[in-house]
Amino acid sequence: MDTIAAISTPTGNGGIGIIRISGNDAKKIINKIFVTNKNKELIPNSFKLGYIRNINNETIDQVLVSYFKAPKSYTGEDVCEINSHGGSVVLKQILELVLNNGARLAEAGEFTKRAFLNGKMDLTQAESVMDIISSKSAKEEKASAAQLEGKLGNEIRNIKDNIISLLADIEANIDYPEYEDIEEVKEQKVLSILNTEINRLDKLEKSFDAGKILKNGISTAIIGKPNVGKSSLLNVLLKEERAIVTDIPGTTRDTIEEMVTLSNGITLKLVDTAGIRETTDIVENIGVEKSKRALDEAELVLFLVDGSAGINDEDRKLYNMIVSKPHIVIVNKIDLDCVKTNLQDNNMVMISTKTGEGIDKLEECIEKVFNIEKLEDENQFIIMNIRHKDLIAKAKCGLLNAVSTVNSSMPMDIISIDIKEAIDSLGEILGESISDDILEKIFKKFCVGK
């Protein structure tokens, strides 16, 4: 492979910036452009202080250069990293100098791709790198870090090894029936192993419900009549004045969408909607129709009512529209003297968007509705990647087909087809059997320099 280089720190000015170089010529390139007063020889796993100088022997910057000798590096190749001051101009000058001395610009995710291809990590770990970088909450980062540590990969590998071992026993019985020292694989043993691994795969597949929430957030619509405090609730959750708030009903004419991470680590994709009511105003009516669409698409509905006014027929009509979806009834304006809650619901929270009272209870209720804490406690491994989820489902389907074949008293050699399909699917998760096209698609999601 040729030697690649890229700026690995974010664009813009900062305290430090890093140019990463990986490949056989990494050290050679550094020796051409790096000058130090002491011994110039780069020692593996160490830093050296010196200066980067251009072709005219002019100093560009004072830097620290680190050197990692293959295979003990992130990519498994020789890697040098230039730690310079973080100005965008100086970083571009150093990178250009590196490229002019034999490196080429790295493609998106190419450093991590090389780490995967050189066996430094499996594909689940490689994918977790981007998940960590793009994490929107501490909970998502925690799940991604567990995957980077190799916990998910080890679980998949363990399931796969158990299935391979079963397949080997079955095929030995088929190919060498005359050998007495080969233990006969009985149907009961086959079913026991298959069902054990099916249960493990099923648990992993179900963890995607929690993983999807951690990664993508919960699509949440704030629904209610005009002037019950929907825009005020949006502002309180965002901790900023994002939506216009007035005493005039129908102020919000369009949907407003924002992302917010709550104090408990749950991310919501909030949609503040226009008040749903019958209206002859053409513009407001467009907003009402958008509100109804947001309601249909929402994974969670925050149904707001005015506690000071009580719940009337219009509120009940809206309640009937949302009651079949995951929802929370929010009684607002409890800071006023007279609060009426003549509506019964298991998920009801009393708040004041004016004082902030009850917002902590609302966050707790959201966590309860989606069983986030329970899902995290029950699942050591949380699947957040749809690719993993689909391949786990495919592997489980193969094993279920094998169970069905055994129960139908079919010959043992037939179930090996389904078992091999499950093994291939699990291998694809780890990257052991995957096409170049899919690999390219995965790493194109990465940023350049990682």
Please report, for the chain, the start and end positions of each structural domain, with discontinuous segments joined by +: 4-106, 130-207+382-443, 214-374
Span 51-77, mean pLDDT?
94
Token digits of residue 149: 């540590």
Look up the CATH number of domain 130-207+382-443.
Answer: 1.20.120.430
pLDDT of 281: 55
pLDDT of 243: 46
pLDDT tens digits for 395-436?
A: 999 999 999 988 887 777 788 889 999 999 999 999 987 888
- Distances from the Cα of 5 to the Cαs of 19, 20, 79, 186, in angstroms? 7, 5, 10, 57
Span 8-37, mean pLDDT?
92
Strand ranges for 254-396 from DSSP E = 256-261, 267-272, 300-306, 327-332, 348-350
Superfamily of domain 214-374: P-loop containing nucleotide triphosphate hydrolases (3.40.50.300)
Q: What SS3 state is found at 51?
A: strand
Residue 124 has pLDDT above 60, yes or no: yes
Distance, in Å, from the CA atom of 112 to the CA atom of 133, rounded to the nearest integer, reads 13
pLDDT of 342: 72
Token digits of residue 163: 């299935």
Domain 4-106 matching CATH 3.30.1360.120: the answer reads yes
Q: Is 332 exposed, middle or buried (0-12, 13-18, 19+ CB in 10 A)?
A: buried
Span 300-329, mean pLDDT?
85
Q: Which helix (H) or strand (E) holds 37?
A: none
pLDDT band for 245, please (50, 70, 90 cuts): very low
pLDDT of 11: 81
Least confident stretch, 91-100, 103-112, 331-340: 331-340
pLDDT of 252: 46
pLDDT of 114: 94
Strand ranges for 116-244 from DSSP E = 218-224
What phi and psi values does residue 61 have, to the nearest 5 degrees? -165, 155
Residue 251 has pLDDT above 50, yes or no: no
Cβ proximity of 425 and 163 under 8 Å: no
Mean pLDDT of the chain: 84
327-332 and 300-306 beta bridge pairing: parallel
Token digits of residue 12: 């813009």
Distance, in Å, from the CA atom of 209 to the CA atom of 384, rounded to the nearest integer, reads 8
- Name the nearest CA neighbour of 236 among 116, 106, 356: 356
pLDDT of 443: 86
Contacts of residue 450, Cβ cutoff 8 Å, sequence gap at least 6: 8, 109, 111, 112, 129, 130, 133
Tell me, rounded to whole angstroms, the distance of Cα 285 from its chain centroid. Answer: 37
Residue 367 has pLDDT above 90, yes or no: no
pLDDT band for 156, please (50, 70, 90 cuts): very high
Residue 158 has pLDDT above 80, yes or no: yes
Cβ proximity of 254 and 234 under 8 Å: no
Strand ranges for 210-341 from DSSP E = 218-224, 256-261, 267-272, 300-306, 327-332
- Looking at 179-275, list the stretches that DSSP marks H as alpha helix, in order from N- to C-terminal side: 187-206, 208-216, 230-238
Distance, in Å, from the CA atom of 156 to the CA atom of 424, rounded to the nearest integer, reads 12
Span 54-78, mean pLDDT?
94
SS3 helix, strand, coil % of the chain, rounded to 5? 45, 20, 35
Span 89-109, mean pLDDT?
94
Task: Identify how many contiguous H helices and E strands the chain contains and give both numbers.
Answer: 16, 13
